[in-house]
Amino acid sequence: GAVVSQHPSWVICKSGTSVKIECRSLDFQATTMFWYRQFPKQSLMLMATSNEGSKATYEQGVEKDKFLINHASLTLSTLTVTSAHPEDSSFYICSARTGALDTQYFGPGTRLTVL
Amino acid sequence: GENVEQHPSTLSVQEGDSAVIKCTYSDSASNYFPWYKQELGKGPQLIIDIRSNVGEKKDQRIAVTLNKTAKHFSLHITETQPEDSAVYFCASSGGGTSYGKLTFGQGTILTVHP
């Protein structure tokens, strides 16, 4: 149980284009989903927290107009990187949490490369 | 905000030996401490977690200890195997406005030599 999927697993795009990444909880309902960013050989940095049906809460320094997050259902959250630039290239990972428990289950990640 | 320090950054052991990774945290309100294993190119996998009302938890070869007074917790892996080689992250979940958010340590690259 507690499986989280992400799609796509990797994506290459041209500078200036937008990319959408999907995060799904496959066997449980996720009241809260989180989006992280990880640079090579570094730790995970929380970007934003999204609760189903409400606006996402962004961490300090994360541009909310650049990283659009939608959590339309209890099993799906999306992250859209708008007008992507090479510096947005990174490993993006989502996690999902159910109910009142703290436990977060992570997706497999999406490797974004912006040319 | 919460700050989590993790040591060592790299750890090399022989197969069969034990490995210990230590973390300290700053927020005394933190009450949940998970450990994740991340293999190259994959997302983190939860391997064990502990809550503040427990001092120790064990799951087969893996154990975690928590000292709330000193604000540190440790991961112990016994009888290490080559497949244990990965990056391990500790994390803490704070209270108050940070409830539910995980703050990660810097990670430990564990290499188990056959």
**pLDDT tier at B2, thresholds 50, 70, 90:** confident
Supply the DSSP symbol for B59: E
B94-109 pLDDT per residue, tens? 766 566 789 999 999 9
B4-26 pLDDT per residue, tens? 999 999 999 999 999 999 999 99
Q: Is the pLDDT of residue A101 over 80?
A: no
Instruction: Name the minimum distance, in Å, from the CA of B103 to any CA of chain A.
Output: 8
Backbone angles phi, psi at A85, to 5 degrees: -130, 165
* Residue of B31, B43, B107 lying closest to A93 (CB–CB): B43
A19-37 pLDDT per residue, tens? 999 999 999 888 899 999 9
What does the alpha-carbon distance between residue A44 and residue B34 come to, in Å, rounded to a whole number?
A: 14
Nearest of B40, B36, B2, B3 to residue A95 by alpha carbon? B36
Q: Is the pLDDT of residue A106 over 70?
A: yes
E-assigned strand segments in A15-115: 19-25, 32-38, 44-51, 57-58, 67-73, 76-81, 90-97, 104-106, 110-114
B31-63 pLDDT per residue, tens? 999 999 999 999 999 999 999 888 999 999 999
| Alpha carbon separation from B20 to A82, A98, B12, B68, B81 (Å, rounded) | 42, 30, 11, 18, 14
List the beta bridge partners of residue A14: none
Overall average pLDDT of the A39-47 stretch:
93
If one counts every other C-beta atom within 10 angstroms of the C-beta of residue B74, the result is 18
Position B98 scores a pLDDT of 60
In chain B, which residues have their Cβ closer than 8 Å to the Cβ of A32?
100
Position B23 scores a pLDDT of 98
B103 touches B6 (CB < 8 A):
no
What does the alpha-carbon distance between residue A105 and residue A76 come to, in Å, rounded to a whole number?
A: 14
B75 touches B21 (CB < 8 A):
yes
Position A51 scores a pLDDT of 86
* Optimal mutation site among A102, A106, A112, interface B, most CBs of chain B within 10 A: A102
Nearest of A14, A5, A6 to residue A111 by alpha carbon? A6
Residues 6+ apart with CB under 8 A from A68: A79, A80, A82
Overall average pLDDT of the A91-97 stretch:
96
Position A103 scores a pLDDT of 87
Mean residue pLDDT of chain A comes to 93
Q: Is the pLDDT of residue A100 over 70?
A: no
